[in-house]
Amino acid sequence: MPEMNEEILITREQIARRVEEMAKEISADQEGRHLVVICILKGSFIFMADLVRKLTCPLSCEFVQVRMVDAPENRQFREIDYIMEFEVDGKDILIVEDIFDSGITIDYLLEHFRDKNPRSMRVCVLLDKSEAHKVEVPVDYVGFSIPRKFVVGYGLDYGERYRELSHIAVLDGVKWPLSE
């Protein structure tokens, strides 16, 4: 397992400030209506926990786990691994994702939830690696734009490690994406 780069990319203070700003924007857009906030497990659990505590609209929290499935010819697709049943029809939903990397996960989830007829559907990501996009998806709220490097902390892992860090750090020497 590679060693952590000592250089911190985003500090806990910067994260806290940005999460508060994003929550203000989301609350204002929501105009007091109920919001179904959907956490994409596992990477978004800390971000989601901080975000919902700053939102001022009424809300409920839901959880989905998505798995990467490697397909032939370096193509990847996603499958839902785990979902608890919840009502989407006629609801305002907010998909909360840790990172917009290739975009395949968000694209897959937008299609999945669109079929369930929500009143509105928005996407909130903490990090955006624009140089890594393979599909462009509409994202409504972005925390930070970051370079195409492998990052860990604040929920993001490498082999299930480092999720508990309060900041976001670059991890050197990681082969990512795994399929390339």
Q: Are 116 and 88 in contact (CB under 8 A)?
A: yes
- The widest CA-to-CA distance across the chain, in whole angstroms, is 47
Stretch that binds ligand IMP, among 26-34, 45-53, 84-92, 98-106 (CB under 6 A): 98-106
Q: Which is nearer to ligand IMP, 30 or 102 (CB)?
A: 102
> Which strands sit side by side in the sheet containing 76-83, from one edge to the other?
76-83, 59-70, 35-41, 92-100, 120-128, 141-145
Strands 141-145 and 120-128: parallel
Asked if residue 98 binds ligand IMP (CB under 6 A), the reply is yes
Candidate list 88, 96, 151, 168; residue touching ligand IMP; CB under 6 A: 151
Candidate list 101, 109, 121, 154; residue touching ligand IMP; CB under 6 A: 101
Cα(38)–Cα(61) distance, integer angstroms: 6
Asked if residue 153 binds ligand IMP (CB under 6 A), the reply is no
Asked if residue 9 binds ligand IMP (CB under 6 A), the reply is no
Active site residue 115: no
Cα(21)–Cα(14) distance, integer angstroms: 11
Q: Per-residue contact track with Mg ion, 16 to 55, x per CB under 5 A?
A: ---------------------------x------------
Stretch that binds ligand IMP, among 13-21, 25-33, 47-55, 93-101 (CB under 6 A): 93-101
The interface partner of residue 98, options being ligand IMP, Mg ion, none and the CB cut-off 5 to 8 Å by kind, is ligand IMP
Q: Are 176 and 150 in contact (CB under 8 A)?
A: yes
81, 101, 107, 140: the catalytic one is 101
Cα(180)–Cα(178) distance, integer angstroms: 6
Cα(133)–Cα(150) distance, integer angstroms: 14
Catalytic residues: 101
Give the footprint of ligand IMP on this chain (CB under 6 A): 43, 97-105, 150-152, 156
